[in-house]
Amino acid sequence: MKLFHSIKSYTIVLATCLPGLVSAQVMQPEKPDSVYTRQTSVMKMRGQNPPTIKSFIVPAVLVSYGLLSLGNNAIRTLDFSTKAEIQEDHPLFAHHLDNFTQYAPMVAVYGLNLAGIKGKHGIIDQTALYILSFGIMGVSTTAIKHLADRPRPDGSNNYSFPSGHTANAFAAAEFLNQEYRDVSPWIGYAGYTVATATGALRLYNNKHWLSDVVAGAGIGIASTKLAYLIYPHLRKLVIGKQSMHYSMVPTYQQKAAGIAFNGTF
């Protein structure tokens, strides 16, 4: 009984002191370091952190793989064996969905915006980022195509390396990933799945070698990552610290659907 009363008394004392301890904990001012850590964490959650140098390792490996295939080695041998197997199993394959799927991840960004799902940037910045990414990717692939002078598997021309369709698809997929990876990583995975399918279609349509597609994927990813590194500095040079306010809503008037856009700069 004495033990029971002792435990009971300690319980009462603890219950009496607990609110004071909680209050003291709540009233205790936060240290500057903890505030900085929390703000940094929130920024990362919202995806405001730009791509890091480490994030360029994978695309660099992909591009390097493709460049090695320009020599007479095992990688080039794999190009020929892959083509032979595909043509043996699917000699009459001719579906040109790759002309459309290369843009699908980019279209998804605007579709998600219209659905009210906001990405990392507003639609004006998103458009500028995609144009910058597309420009970097386009200049890079065109220049390398002329320098490499590699014949296509079907012999149609000598602009096989790297795959432009694949580069465009992966640039768009990385664009989708950058904007919505903090909403859900599965959105980015879906974009990369479509981009991979685009590369596979280029192989099955006998328009590219395997190494063309691998290099194109690397160039596309790197182009978008580079655009996200460069754009904040370009934006600052062009408009300084001015803010942009806009609204975009779907409309339907006189039996015609459209989009109403209103913005101030």
Tens of pLDDT along 92-123? 898 899 999 999 999 999 999 999 999 999 99
Q: Residue 222 has what pLDDT?
A: 98
> CB neighbours of 231 closer than 8 A, spacing ≥ 6?
125, 128, 129, 132
Q: Residue 243 has what pLDDT?
A: 53
CATH number at residue 136: 1.20.144
* Calpha distance 164→150 (Å, rounded): 13
Q: Residue 50 has what pLDDT?
A: 76
Q: Does residue 37 belong to any structural domain of this protein?
A: no
Question: 116 lies in which domain range?
Answer: 55-259
Q: Is 247 helix (H, G, I), strand (E, B) or coil?
A: strand
Q: Residue 103 has what pLDDT?
A: 97
Q: Residue 20 has what pLDDT?
A: 38
Residues of the chain with pLDDT under 50: 1-47, 245-249, 251-252, 257, 259-261, 263, 265
Q: What kind and span of H or E run contains 236?
A: helix 210-239
b/e map 30-62, b = 16+ CB within 10 Å: eeeeeeeeeeeeeeeeebeeebeeeebeebeeb
* Calpha distance 177→225 (Å, rounded): 10
- The model's pTM is 0.75
Instruction: Share the mean pLDDT of the chain.
Output: 81
Q: Does residue 166 belong to any structural domain of this protein?
A: yes
Domain count, the chain: 1
Q: Residue 217 has what pLDDT?
A: 98
Q: Does residue 96 belong to any structural domain of this protein?
A: yes
Q: Does residue 177 belong to any structural domain of this protein?
A: yes
Q: Does residue 110 belong to any structural domain of this protein?
A: yes
Q: Residue 49 has what pLDDT?
A: 72
Q: Does residue 7 belong to any structural domain of this protein?
A: no
Q: Does residue 25 belong to any structural domain of this protein?
A: no
**What percentage of the chain has pLDDT greater than the value 70?**
72
Q: Does residue 31 belong to any structural domain of this protein?
A: no
Q: Residue 203 has what pLDDT?
A: 98
Amino acid occupying residue 131: I
